[in-house]
Amino acid sequence: MITLARRRNQAQGHGADEISTSEERDYTVRAVERVCSILNLLQESIDGVSLIEVGQATELPKSSAFRYLWTLEVHRYVERDEQTGLYRLGLGFVGMQSRHLEVLRERARPWLEELRDDFEETTNLGILDGDHVIYVDIVESRHKVRLAASRGDRDPLHSTALGKAIASQLPDSRVRDLLDRTGMERQSDNTITSIDAYMDEIAKVRRLGYAVDNGENAADGRCIAAPLLGTHLPAALSISAPAARFTLKDVEKAARKLLDVAEQITTNPATSTETDGEA
Protein backbone atom coordinates (compact mmCIF):
# COMPACT_ATOMS: atom_id res chain seq x y z
CA MET A 1 0.00 0.00 0.00
CA ILE A 2 1.25 3.49 -0.80
CA THR A 3 1.32 5.19 2.57
CA LEU A 4 0.59 8.83 3.26
CA ALA A 5 4.28 9.51 3.87
CA ARG A 6 5.29 7.96 0.55
CA ARG A 7 2.63 9.90 -1.28
CA ARG A 8 3.87 13.14 0.25
CA ASN A 9 7.44 12.33 -0.77
CA GLN A 10 6.31 11.47 -4.28
CA ALA A 11 4.39 14.73 -4.50
CA GLN A 12 7.41 16.70 -3.31
CA GLY A 13 9.51 14.97 -5.94
CA HIS A 14 7.19 16.36 -8.59
CA GLY A 15 7.49 20.02 -7.74
CA ALA A 16 5.21 19.93 -4.71
CA ASP A 17 7.77 21.64 -2.46
CA GLU A 18 5.51 24.66 -2.62
CA ILE A 19 2.93 22.92 -0.44
CA SER A 20 2.22 25.12 2.56
CA THR A 21 2.66 24.07 6.16
CA SER A 22 -1.10 24.10 6.70
CA GLU A 23 -1.61 21.87 3.67
CA GLU A 24 1.00 19.44 4.95
CA ARG A 25 -0.85 19.24 8.25
CA ASP A 26 -4.01 18.42 6.34
CA TYR A 27 -2.91 16.43 3.31
CA THR A 28 -6.44 15.74 2.12
CA VAL A 29 -7.68 17.50 -1.00
CA ARG A 30 -10.67 19.63 -0.04
CA ALA A 31 -12.34 19.36 -3.44
CA VAL A 32 -12.13 15.57 -3.37
CA GLU A 33 -13.53 15.52 0.16
CA ARG A 34 -16.50 17.55 -1.04
CA VAL A 35 -17.11 15.20 -3.96
CA CYS A 36 -17.03 12.26 -1.54
CA SER A 37 -19.49 14.06 0.75
CA ILE A 38 -21.85 14.65 -2.17
CA LEU A 39 -21.68 11.03 -3.33
CA ASN A 40 -22.19 9.71 0.21
CA LEU A 41 -25.19 11.99 0.62
CA LEU A 42 -26.70 10.74 -2.64
CA GLN A 43 -26.02 7.11 -1.73
CA GLU A 44 -27.91 7.45 1.55
CA SER A 45 -30.86 9.21 -0.07
CA ILE A 46 -33.98 7.33 -1.15
CA ASP A 47 -35.74 9.91 -3.31
CA GLY A 48 -32.79 12.16 -4.21
CA VAL A 49 -31.46 15.38 -2.72
CA SER A 50 -31.91 19.03 -3.60
CA LEU A 51 -29.23 21.54 -4.51
CA ILE A 52 -29.81 23.29 -1.19
CA GLU A 53 -29.28 20.04 0.74
CA VAL A 54 -26.01 19.42 -1.11
CA GLY A 55 -24.85 22.93 -0.27
CA GLN A 56 -25.70 22.46 3.40
CA ALA A 57 -23.96 19.08 3.60
CA THR A 58 -20.77 20.38 1.97
CA GLU A 59 -20.90 23.91 3.40
CA LEU A 60 -20.69 25.26 -0.13
CA PRO A 61 -22.47 28.27 -1.61
CA LYS A 62 -25.32 27.30 -3.89
CA SER A 63 -23.39 28.31 -7.01
CA SER A 64 -20.37 26.19 -6.04
CA ALA A 65 -22.52 23.19 -5.14
CA PHE A 66 -24.16 23.49 -8.55
CA ARG A 67 -20.77 23.39 -10.31
CA TYR A 68 -19.81 20.22 -8.44
CA LEU A 69 -23.10 18.56 -9.34
CA TRP A 70 -22.90 19.73 -12.94
CA THR A 71 -19.41 18.23 -13.33
CA LEU A 72 -20.54 14.92 -11.81
CA GLU A 73 -23.57 14.96 -14.07
CA VAL A 74 -21.40 15.47 -17.17
CA HIS A 75 -19.45 12.36 -16.19
CA ARG A 76 -22.70 10.43 -15.53
CA TYR A 77 -22.01 9.90 -11.82
CA VAL A 78 -25.01 12.08 -10.94
CA GLU A 79 -28.34 12.60 -12.68
CA ARG A 80 -30.98 15.26 -12.14
CA ASP A 81 -34.72 14.61 -12.23
CA GLU A 82 -36.14 17.28 -14.51
CA GLN A 83 -39.54 17.20 -12.80
CA THR A 84 -38.47 17.37 -9.16
CA GLY A 85 -35.06 18.98 -9.57
CA LEU A 86 -33.60 16.37 -7.21
CA TYR A 87 -30.21 14.74 -7.75
CA ARG A 88 -29.43 11.04 -7.44
CA LEU A 89 -26.59 8.69 -8.33
CA GLY A 90 -26.28 8.25 -12.08
CA LEU A 91 -25.58 5.48 -14.55
CA GLY A 92 -21.84 5.86 -14.09
CA PHE A 93 -22.19 3.86 -10.89
CA VAL A 94 -24.39 1.16 -12.40
CA GLY A 95 -21.54 -0.42 -14.32
CA MET A 96 -19.36 -0.39 -11.23
CA GLN A 97 -22.09 -2.01 -9.14
CA SER A 98 -22.67 -4.65 -11.82
CA ARG A 99 -19.00 -5.60 -11.82
CA HIS A 100 -18.85 -5.72 -8.02
CA LEU A 101 -22.01 -7.84 -7.95
CA GLU A 102 -20.66 -10.31 -10.49
CA VAL A 103 -17.42 -10.70 -8.54
CA LEU A 104 -19.37 -11.19 -5.31
CA ARG A 105 -21.68 -13.75 -6.90
CA GLU A 106 -18.78 -15.75 -8.36
CA ARG A 107 -16.95 -15.71 -5.04
CA ALA A 108 -20.02 -16.69 -3.01
CA ARG A 109 -21.34 -19.45 -5.28
CA PRO A 110 -19.09 -22.34 -4.11
CA TRP A 111 -19.74 -21.38 -0.49
CA LEU A 112 -23.49 -21.36 -1.07
CA GLU A 113 -23.17 -24.85 -2.54
CA GLU A 114 -21.10 -26.02 0.41
CA LEU A 115 -23.64 -24.64 2.88
CA ARG A 116 -26.47 -26.32 0.99
CA ASP A 117 -24.64 -29.64 1.10
CA ASP A 118 -23.73 -29.29 4.79
CA PHE A 119 -27.25 -28.43 5.98
CA GLU A 120 -29.28 -29.86 3.07
CA GLU A 121 -31.29 -26.65 2.90
CA THR A 122 -31.65 -23.76 0.45
CA THR A 123 -28.97 -21.08 0.56
CA ASN A 124 -29.29 -17.54 -0.75
CA LEU A 125 -27.23 -14.48 -1.61
CA GLY A 126 -29.08 -11.17 -1.42
CA ILE A 127 -28.36 -7.47 -1.73
CA LEU A 128 -30.23 -4.25 -1.03
CA ASP A 129 -32.17 -3.11 -4.09
CA GLY A 130 -33.83 0.22 -3.39
CA ASP A 131 -36.00 -0.48 -0.36
CA HIS A 132 -36.21 -4.28 -0.69
CA VAL A 133 -33.96 -7.31 -0.68
CA ILE A 134 -33.29 -8.90 -4.06
CA TYR A 135 -32.07 -12.49 -4.44
CA VAL A 136 -29.03 -12.51 -6.73
CA ASP A 137 -28.12 -16.18 -6.33
CA ILE A 138 -29.82 -19.26 -4.89
CA VAL A 139 -28.75 -22.87 -4.39
CA GLU A 140 -31.88 -24.92 -3.74
CA SER A 141 -32.27 -27.74 -1.27
CA ARG A 142 -32.66 -31.20 -2.77
CA HIS A 143 -35.61 -31.89 -0.49
CA LYS A 144 -38.97 -32.02 -2.24
CA VAL A 145 -40.44 -29.78 0.46
CA ARG A 146 -38.24 -26.71 0.75
CA LEU A 147 -38.24 -22.94 1.07
CA ALA A 148 -36.94 -21.34 -2.10
CA ALA A 149 -37.20 -18.08 -3.96
CA SER A 150 -36.15 -17.41 -7.54
CA ARG A 151 -33.20 -15.34 -8.64
CA GLY A 152 -34.42 -11.77 -9.07
CA ASP A 153 -37.27 -12.11 -6.54
CA ARG A 154 -37.68 -9.29 -4.03
CA ASP A 155 -38.63 -9.58 -0.37
CA PRO A 156 -39.31 -7.04 2.39
CA LEU A 157 -36.48 -5.69 4.49
CA HIS A 158 -38.40 -5.98 7.76
CA SER A 159 -39.60 -9.59 7.70
CA THR A 160 -36.61 -11.54 6.35
CA ALA A 161 -33.32 -12.61 7.87
CA LEU A 162 -31.54 -11.35 4.75
CA GLY A 163 -33.25 -8.00 5.20
CA LYS A 164 -32.21 -7.75 8.85
CA ALA A 165 -28.62 -8.71 8.06
CA ILE A 166 -28.49 -6.07 5.33
CA ALA A 167 -30.19 -3.44 7.50
CA SER A 168 -27.58 -4.03 10.20
CA GLN A 169 -24.98 -2.58 7.81
CA LEU A 170 -26.88 0.67 7.25
CA PRO A 171 -27.09 3.81 9.39
CA ASP A 172 -30.11 3.75 11.71
CA SER A 173 -31.50 6.87 10.05
CA ARG A 174 -31.49 5.18 6.66
CA VAL A 175 -33.16 2.05 8.02
CA ARG A 176 -35.93 4.17 9.52
CA ASP A 177 -36.35 6.05 6.23
CA LEU A 178 -36.65 2.78 4.31
CA LEU A 179 -39.24 1.40 6.72
CA ASP A 180 -41.20 4.66 6.67
CA ARG A 181 -41.28 4.45 2.90
CA THR A 182 -42.34 0.82 2.54
CA GLY A 183 -44.38 0.35 5.68
CA MET A 184 -44.11 -2.86 7.68
CA GLU A 185 -46.84 -5.07 6.31
CA ARG A 186 -47.63 -8.11 8.41
CA GLN A 187 -46.55 -11.28 6.60
CA SER A 188 -47.40 -13.65 9.47
CA ASP A 189 -48.32 -13.56 13.15
CA ASN A 190 -44.60 -13.24 13.98
CA THR A 191 -43.81 -10.29 11.72
CA ILE A 192 -42.28 -7.26 13.43
CA THR A 193 -44.49 -4.29 12.55
CA SER A 194 -43.03 -1.57 14.80
CA ILE A 195 -40.02 0.46 13.71
CA ASP A 196 -38.74 0.75 17.28
CA ALA A 197 -39.05 -3.00 17.81
CA TYR A 198 -37.27 -3.59 14.51
CA MET A 199 -34.41 -1.28 15.50
CA ASP A 200 -34.05 -3.29 18.73
CA GLU A 201 -33.82 -6.39 16.56
CA ILE A 202 -31.15 -4.79 14.38
CA ALA A 203 -29.14 -3.92 17.50
CA LYS A 204 -29.29 -7.61 18.42
CA VAL A 205 -28.14 -8.61 14.92
CA ARG A 206 -25.16 -6.30 15.21
CA ARG A 207 -24.31 -7.77 18.60
CA LEU A 208 -24.60 -11.43 17.55
CA GLY A 209 -23.32 -11.02 14.00
CA TYR A 210 -26.28 -12.82 12.41
CA ALA A 211 -30.04 -12.44 11.92
CA VAL A 212 -32.93 -14.89 12.30
CA ASP A 213 -36.35 -14.91 10.67
CA ASN A 214 -38.44 -17.11 12.93
CA GLY A 215 -41.61 -17.53 10.90
CA GLU A 216 -41.78 -13.78 10.25
CA ASN A 217 -41.93 -13.85 6.45
CA ALA A 218 -43.60 -17.24 6.05
CA ALA A 219 -45.38 -18.79 9.01
CA ASP A 220 -43.89 -22.22 8.38
CA GLY A 221 -40.38 -21.03 7.53
CA ARG A 222 -37.18 -20.27 9.36
CA CYS A 223 -34.09 -18.51 8.06
CA ILE A 224 -30.70 -17.39 9.33
CA ALA A 225 -28.52 -14.80 7.60
CA ALA A 226 -25.11 -13.22 8.05
CA PRO A 227 -24.06 -9.83 6.69
CA LEU A 228 -21.21 -9.68 4.20
CA LEU A 229 -19.28 -6.82 5.75
CA GLY A 230 -16.63 -4.94 3.82
CA THR A 231 -17.94 -5.69 0.34
CA HIS A 232 -18.89 -3.01 -2.16
CA LEU A 233 -22.62 -3.64 -1.71
CA PRO A 234 -24.93 -4.09 1.30
CA ALA A 235 -25.18 -7.87 1.01
CA ALA A 236 -25.87 -10.99 3.06
CA LEU A 237 -26.12 -14.76 2.69
CA SER A 238 -28.67 -17.03 4.30
CA ILE A 239 -29.95 -20.54 4.89
CA SER A 240 -33.72 -21.04 4.71
CA ALA A 241 -35.86 -24.08 5.41
CA PRO A 242 -39.22 -25.29 6.71
CA ALA A 243 -39.33 -24.58 10.45
CA ALA A 244 -40.33 -28.16 11.25
CA ARG A 245 -37.05 -29.40 9.79
CA PHE A 246 -34.79 -26.46 10.70
CA THR A 247 -35.04 -26.18 14.48
CA LEU A 248 -33.69 -23.40 16.67
CA LYS A 249 -30.91 -25.78 17.69
CA ASP A 250 -30.06 -26.19 14.01
CA VAL A 251 -30.00 -22.40 13.68
CA GLU A 252 -27.38 -22.12 16.43
CA LYS A 253 -25.23 -24.71 14.68
CA ALA A 254 -25.69 -23.03 11.31
CA ALA A 255 -24.76 -19.63 12.74
CA ARG A 256 -21.18 -20.67 13.44
CA LYS A 257 -20.70 -22.02 9.93
CA LEU A 258 -22.45 -19.08 8.31
CA LEU A 259 -20.27 -16.54 10.11
CA ASP A 260 -17.15 -18.44 9.06
CA VAL A 261 -18.28 -18.52 5.42
CA ALA A 262 -19.15 -14.81 5.49
CA GLU A 263 -15.66 -14.05 6.73
CA GLN A 264 -14.11 -16.23 4.01
CA ILE A 265 -16.05 -14.36 1.33
CA THR A 266 -15.39 -10.86 2.61
CA THR A 267 -11.68 -11.32 3.30
CA ASN A 268 -11.08 -12.43 -0.29
CA PRO A 269 -9.22 -9.65 -2.16
CA ALA A 270 -11.67 -9.86 -5.06
CA THR A 271 -14.68 -8.89 -2.94
CA SER A 272 -13.23 -6.87 -0.06
CA THR A 273 -13.02 -3.09 -0.07
CA GLU A 274 -9.96 -3.26 2.17
CA THR A 275 -7.69 -3.67 -0.84
CA ASP A 276 -9.05 -0.65 -2.70
CA GLY A 277 -6.28 1.81 -3.46
CA GLU A 278 -3.45 -0.62 -2.78
CA ALA A 279 -0.51 -0.80 -5.12
**Every domain of the chain and the residues it spans:** 4-90, 94-275
φ/ψ of residue 89, rounded to 5: -60, 140
Q: Does the reported pTM lie above 0.75?
A: no
Q: What is the CATH number of domain 4-90?
A: 1.10.10.10
For the four alpha carbons of 108, 113, 115 and 116, in that order, the dihedral sign comes to positive
Q: What is the pLDDT along the chain (279 residues), one digit of tens a residue?
A: 333 333 344 444 444 444 444 444 455 688 888 998 898 888 777 678 899 999 998 999 999 999 999 999 988 888 888 888 999 887 677 667 777 888 899 999 999 999 999 999 999 999 998 889 999 999 999 999 888 788 889 999 999 999 999 999 998 988 998 999 899 999 999 999 999 999 999 999 999 999 999 999 999 999 999 999 977 678 999 999 999 999 999 999 999 999 999 999 988 655 554 444 443
φ/ψ of residue 135, rounded to 5: -85, 120
Q: What is the CATH number of domain 94-275?
A: 3.30.450.40
Identify whether the C-beta of residue 166 lies closer than 8 Å to the C-beta of residue 127. yes
